[in-house]
Amino acid sequence: MPPEMTQQPTKVPPSPSLSPEETLSVAHTGESMVFPRTSTIPPEDFPQCCENRMRRYLFKPSVLVFLALIMAAIVSLSPAFLSNSDTLGTTHESSPDKDGVMILGDIFQFDWMITRTVTVMWSISGWGKYRLPTEGDPPNAFLPVSRAVDVYLDNVSNPVFSYDPTHIPMTTTGGKIPISSLYHFNVEHNIESREQYYTPIDLYSFSAFAFVVERATNRSIPIIKFAVYGAGPGDFSASSRGIPARNRFAYDTGGGSATVEVESYAMFATVKHSNRARVLTFFMFTVNWILSLGSVITTSVMFNGHGVKDTVALLPITVILAIPAIRMLYVGSPPCGIFLDLVGFFPQMMLVVACTMVVLSGFAVRTIQGKSVTREKEEV
Average pLDDT rounded to a whole number, residues 79-102:
58
pLDDT on residue 20: 45
pLDDT on residue 345: 93
Is residue 313's pLDDT more than 80?
no
Q: Under the phi-then-psi rule, with left for phi > 0, alpha for psi from -120 to 50, and beta for the rest, what region is 189? A: beta
Average pLDDT rounded to a whole number, residues 355-376:
72
Phi, psi of 129 (to 5 degrees): -75, -10
pLDDT band for position 226 (cuts 50, 70, 90): very high
Residues 6+ apart with CB under 8 A from 179: 168, 169
Q: Which residue has the higher pLDDT, 100 or 63?
A: 100
Q: What percent of the chain has pLDDT over 70?
A: 64
Q: Which residue has the higher pLDDT, 150 or 317?
A: 150
C-alpha to C-alpha distance for 32 and 9, rounded to whole angstroms: 11
Average pLDDT, the chain: 74
Longest Cα separation, the chain? 135
* Contact predicate 317/356, CB 8 Å: yes
Q: For the segment 114-163, what is each residue's pLDDT rounded down to a tens digit?
A: 888 999 999 999 988 898 887 765 555 578 899 999 999 988 778 999 99
C-alpha to C-alpha distance for 69 and 335, rounded to whole angstroms: 34
C-alpha to C-alpha distance for 219 and 202, rounded to whole angstroms: 41
* Contact predicate 268/191, CB 8 Å: no
C-alpha to C-alpha distance for 128 and 147, rounded to whole angstroms: 12
Strands (DSSP E) found in 63-160: 100-111, 117-127, 149-153
Is residue 324's pLDDT more than 90?
yes
pLDDT band for position 56 (cuts 50, 70, 90): low
Sign of CA dihedral 39, 44, 50, 52: negative
pLDDT on residue 260: 74
Is residue 376's pLDDT more than 80?
no
C-alpha to C-alpha distance for 273 and 66, rounded to whole angstroms: 30
Residues 6+ apart with CB under 8 A from 199: 273, 281, 330, 332, 334, 338, 339, 340
pLDDT on residue 378: 56
Q: Which residue has the higher pLDDT, 247 or 19?
A: 247
Residue type, 118: V
Closest CA to 341 of 332, 353, 330: 330
pLDDT on residue 74: 58
pLDDT band for position 167 (cuts 50, 70, 90): confident
Residue type, 28: H
pLDDT on residue 186: 92
Distance of CA 44 to the CA centre of its chain: 49
Q: For the segment 186-203, what is each residue's pLDDT rounded down to a tens digit?
A: 999 999 877 788 888 888
Is residue 353's pLDDT more than 60?
yes
C-alpha to C-alpha distance for 200 and 291, rounded to whole angstroms: 21
Is residue 279's pLDDT more than 60?
yes
Q: Which residue has the higher pLDDT, 88 or 103?
A: 103
Distance of CA 148 to the CA centre of its chain: 45
Report, in this order, helix, strand and coil percent for the chain, each rounded to 5: 40, 30, 35
The CA-based dihedral angle spanning residues 25, 30, 31, 32, taken in that order and rounded to the nearest 10 degrees: 10
Residues 6+ apart with CB under 8 A from 25: 32, 33
Q: Running DSSP on this structure, what letter comes out for residue 255?
A: S
* Contact predicate 243/226, CB 8 Å: no
pLDDT band for position 89 (cuts 50, 70, 90): very low
Q: Which residue has the higher pLDDT, 374 or 154?
A: 154
pLDDT on residue 346: 94
pLDDT band for position 219 (cuts 50, 70, 90): confident
pLDDT on residue 368: 77
Is residue 47's pLDDT more than 70?
no
Buried b (16+ CB within 10 A) or exposed e, 42-70: eeeeeeeeeeeeeeeeeeeeeeeeeeeee
Is residue 240's pLDDT more than 50?
yes
pLDDT band for position 28 (cuts 50, 70, 90): very low
**Partners of 227 in the beta sheet?**
104
Q: What percent of the chain has pLDDT over 90?
A: 22
Q: Which residue has the higher pLDDT, 270 or 333?
A: 270
Q: Running DSSP on this structure, what letter comes out for residue 314?
A: T
Q: Which residue has the higher pLDDT, 340 or 136?
A: 340
Is residue 354's pLDDT more than 70?
yes
Is residue 36's pLDDT more than 60?
no
C-alpha to C-alpha distance for 78 and 193, rounded to whole angstroms: 30
Global pTM value: 0.66
3-state secondary structure of 142: coil
C-alpha to C-alpha distance for 335 and 357, rounded to whole angstroms: 28
